[in-house]
Amino acid sequence: MESVRSIKEMQVFSESLRNNGKKISFVPTMGYFHEGHLSLMKEGKKRGDCLVVSIYVNPMQFGPAEDFTRYPRDFERDRKLAEDVKADVIFCPENEEMYPEYYQTFVDVEEVTKNLCGFSRPAHFRGVTTVCAKLFHIVKPHVAIFGKKDFQQLVTIKRMVQDLNIVLEVVGMPTVRETDGLAMSSRNVYLKAQERESALSLSRSLVIARKLYEDGLRDSGKILREVRKYIEGNPYTGIDYAKICDTTTLKDVEYLEGEAVLALAVKVGATRLIDNYVFGETLDI
Ligand code: AMP
């Protein structure tokens, strides 16, 4: 497995692969791998001849009061895990090269980023779309794999790729969970022992919503009331949002008719966790 830091080197390598008719699959990450990341990499291996995994904690997508500096990092561990799943290249660019002096170009996807995390974390998605657009130009992938755990991110990237006519297939993969249902996240390491149980309130409330839906309830307000009640019944929790949205527009829906997603962002202690459930899809909890 190759480790590449230089943007130019990555571009030259990708270009030569393309010239040799190879299919490049790409998994962009911020590192500190867990099984969720590895599931994307395994899918990437199936879908391409060369799997590139990027590790880049992108400063542009963190707000000033967020956890950029303390975001967990462990390159050696990540390198071994990526090697185990036979990733071909790890690309880890430097901030100075990604955003040099005089940098001033941004990609904004306007509508689907207004609700949910876009509301709570202004400028977050602008950072995500800008870095992904840059990474797509550097890695030149044919297929990029993202997790559905970051549902709004996936919708936003798909929108950007379509709107900017980027020739790229974007694939969304199911959320990988701990055996008790907690969605895997690099940020789970922040949870204190006593908060870990309360963190389960997210996935458990998704199960409650699924049951209500399967029993025929279609009124978003009524489903959300039960979801909120359950989460608030757990110590250390503070709901940032609990919403039911159309899966294409990400606008709130009052009544479940078309495809809809229940999206949650909940602070458990000081840790902000997200999770979601697309009504009618399987939920392995
Ligand atoms: P991150 O390193 O957190 O930026 O995540 C990198 C990629 O992994 C994103 O496409 C995420 O959606 C995806 N991902 C994160 N957690 C999970 C999970 N539990 N299951 C599946 N994919 C995930």
Pairing status of strand 237-246 against strand 169-173: unpaired
Nearest CA to ligand 1 atom 18: 36
C-alpha to C-alpha distance for 144 and 134, rounded to whole angstroms? 13
Q: Per DSSP, what are the bridge partners of residue 255?
A: 219
Ligand 1 atom closest to 31 (CA):
2
226: Cβ contacts below 8 Å, ≥ 6 apart: 205, 208, 209, 212
pLDDT band for position 285 (cuts 50, 70, 90): confident
The answer to whether the Cα torsion of 228, 262, 221, 270 is positive or negative is: positive
Bridge partner list, 91: 4, 54
Cα dihedral 71/76/77/83 (nearest 10): 130
CA atoms within 13 A on the CB side of 32: 13
Q: Residue 67 has what pLDDT?
A: 95
Residue 29 CA to ligand 1 centre (angstroms): 7
Q: Give the architecture (CATH level 2) of 2-173.
A: 3-Layer(aba) Sandwich (3.40)
Residue 238: the pLDDT is: 98
- Ligand 1: nearest atom to the Cα of 146: 10
Q: Which residues pair with 275 in a beta bridge?
A: 264
Could you tell me the pTM of the whole model? 0.98
Measured from CB, residues less than 6 Å from any atom of ligand 1 are 29-30, 36-37, 39-40, 146-147, 149-150, 173, 175-176, 183-186
Q: Domain 186-277 falls in which CATH fold?
A: Pantoate--beta-alanine Ligase; Chain: A,domain 2 (3.30.1300)
At position 215, the amino acid (one-letter code) is: D
Mean pLDDT value of segment 108-120: 97
Query: Which of 56, 67, 149 has the most ligand 1 atoms within 8 A of CB, as the residue to mutate?
Result: 149
Position 41 scores a pLDDT of 98
pLDDT band at 284 (very low <50, low <70, confident <90, very high): confident
The residue whose C-alpha atom lies closest to atom 11 belonging to ligand 1 is 147
Confirm if 53 and 168 have CB atoms less than 8 A apart: no
Report the pLDDT averaged over residues 181-203: 97
pLDDT value of position 209: 98
CB 150 within 8 A of CB 172: no
Kindly provide the b/e burial profile for residues 169-189, where b requires at least 16 CB atoms within 10 angstroms of the residue's own CB: ebbbbebbbbeebbbbbbebe
Interval between CA 262 and ligand 1 midpoint (Å): 18
Q: Rounded to an integer, what distance in angstroms lies between the CA atom of residue 154 and that of residue 126?
A: 13
Known catalytic membership, residue 137: no
Q: Are 240 and 265 in contact (CB under 8 A)?
A: yes
Q: What is the atom index within ligand 1 of the atom nearest the CA of 37?
A: 8
Domain ranges of the chain: 2-173, 186-277
pLDDT tens readout for residues 15-47:
999 999 999 999 999 999 999 999 999 999 999
